[in-house]
Amino acid sequence: MTPDLDIERRLALAYVPADRRPSLETLWRLDVTLGQVVATGSDRMISRIRLAWWREALERLDRERPPAEPLLEAASALILPQGVTGAELAGLADGWEVLLEPVALEAKELHAYGAGRGGRLFSIGARLLGGEADGIAEAGARWALADLARRSSRPEEAAAALAAGQRQASVRWPRALRPLGMLAALADRDIGRGAPEPAGSPARILRMVRHRLTGR
């Protein structure tokens, strides 16, 4: 079963036009699924094998019909027709795989994770939403680092992730891309505070709505 989206992504998705919502939801559910592969594996090697299966299955979408797996079928039907390739989707696994390194994550690894997961996720998401803006990939990288800090059970890793996200990403958010901007605004909030807030708190929901209305 595909894991559910968190409350903040569900709220952002509610502001996506109905005709574009299924493709972005599929992209986000793919990201969540890959994250679950990393988070639930008790053995790094097993998690790497499972990630490799997803990477190869996504790459094969460019030349084969999807197997009988609902998320792959949805990606083939909803994302690939928008000009995104299976190989591009497979690249998300590379970002997640950084977290399986057997050493403590330092700035180099954290930046690779941020770019490989969040930068790619926001760049593809922008295409699915039919918009573009400078700095999208950088904003996505900051979001991924803030998300890692929120989900990490290790305080030192959470602090390092927030520190790695300190570099600002200046984006003028057109209305079409504000569902992504809503998430980026929350990342800016966490990084600015130096600590993640509880997901879905009233203050965070208000921040998301404010961004949706103003683009700031």
Q: Are 187 and 143 in contact (CB under 8 A)?
A: yes
Weakly modelled stretches of the chain, pLDDT under 70? 1-2, 169
pLDDT of residue 2: 65
pLDDT of residue 40: 84
The total number of residues written for the chain in this structure? 216
pLDDT of residue 208: 97
Q: Is 31 exposed, middle or buried (0-12, 13-18, 19+ CB in 10 A)?
A: buried
pLDDT of residue 170: 80
Note the pLDDT tens digit of each residue in 166-194.
Answer: 877 688 999 999 999 999 999 999 999 99
